[in-house]
Structure 1
């Protein structure tokens, strides 16, 4: 499925929040405490995203994926990803994908790949040669990152909502080579 990828705007906050909440509830059921997932709200997430997008920080950007909704030019937001400078430098990567989510019923149709490609292209064009992403070890999406050429580079335990969760870092040490290999 072909998606239009563009930079997110503050007006996208509600649609991003919808994707965020739906994806978390589908991916993390049984992984993070149910009480946390139940308390998640689109209103709360929209407020957070609106503030984040209004900042327009050079250190953190967000792109959205839109697909045609029926006939005509109407587009609907179905995925998003945020990225920027790596938070922390212990692994030596300069770029980091902070979030990458696609509505559950549209996963496996190439939208996540298009988002990753756009993020890697933007990072590389900004002078960032490498990138990583942290993912919960129990999240099936980790296989997507392996399929996309990510190399497992680290593991850590994080406290989240009263639980200790294992995270895995996948890294791409050469974004230029990755872009060339994937037709970028």
Structure 2
């Protein structure tokens, strides 16, 4: 049986020598998908911030709270160039990305876009979904008239930094420290990467 209850031909795997690969796509998110986006964000944060944040803080992350924020953003995006994209494997949402005009102090909001979030479900990594999302982000930024796209990456996250640099992104020299609790008890250093989306 497939994931959707549709029986598969018994000899499909035998003919190809492998399990059929799910169709993949990226498109704009729908407000009804906010719950799935919240679940993916919490799962991704728990994976990427393990060792940086206390375990009890990560355990307390509430997907419903994230979902409510995403639902509000999708229903009333404000700026027309605020975009949320989702990656699908067949009909299953496996990742998402949010791109917006950059609010960095040195940014030109007409020219500079920011990848505010890019996350793939931990169970769906290494399947190309992140790369498809990143390509779609750059294409969307280009279509929206941006001439630069930026993203902040934790300085210790070598895997995420490599993901961006292998896609042609590079550090632009900017860095910052996040004071997560406002009391300087947990500070996270980040560097900014950027790319030129080019022209159509």
Classify the TM-score, shorter chain. Answer: 0.7 to 0.9
State the 1:61 CA deviation.
1.2
Moved over 4 A (4+): none
Task: Report the aligned-residue RMSD.
Answer: 1.8
Q: 2:178 aligns with which of 136, 158, 162?
A: 158
Instruction: Work out the CA distance in 2 between the residues paired with 1:83 and 1:54.
Output: 16
State the TM-score, normalized to the length of structure 2. 0.79
Count of aligned positions: 171
Instruction: Work out the CA distance in 1 between the residues paired with 2:101 and 2:77.
Output: 14
Q: Which residue of 1 aligns with 2:87?
A: 65
Q: Which residue of 1 aligns with 2:94?
A: 78
Instruction: Return 5+ residue gaps in structure 1 as ranges.
Output: 69-74, 180-184
Structure 1 counterpart SS, 2:92: strand
Using the TM superposition, name which of 139-148 and 12-21 deviates more.
139-148
Task: Write the mapping of 1:79-94 to structure 2, written as runs, cut at 5 A.
Answer: 79-90=95-106, 94=112
State the 1:89 CA deviation.
4.3
Larger radius of gyration: 2
Q: Are the counterparts in 2 of residues 82 and 99 from structure 1 also a CA contact under 8 Å?
A: yes
- 1:25 corresponds to 2:41: no
Task: Write the mapping of 1:1-184 to structure 2, written as runs, cut at 5 A.
Answer: 3-57=24-78, 58-68=80-90, 75-90=91-106, 94-139=112-157, 140-153=159-172, 154-161=174-181, 162-172=185-195, 174-176=196-198
Instruction: Return 5+ residue gaps in structure 2 as ranges.
Output: 1-21
State the TM-score, normalized to the length of structure 1. 0.86
Structure 1 counterpart SS, 2:104: coil
Structure number with higher relative contact order (C-alpha < 8 Å, ≥ 6 residues apart): 1
Structure 1 counterpart SS, 2:198: helix
Instruction: Work out the CA distance in 2 between the residues paired with 1:38 and 1:118.
Output: 31
* Change over 3 Å in CA distance of 1:89–1:124 after alignment to 2: farther
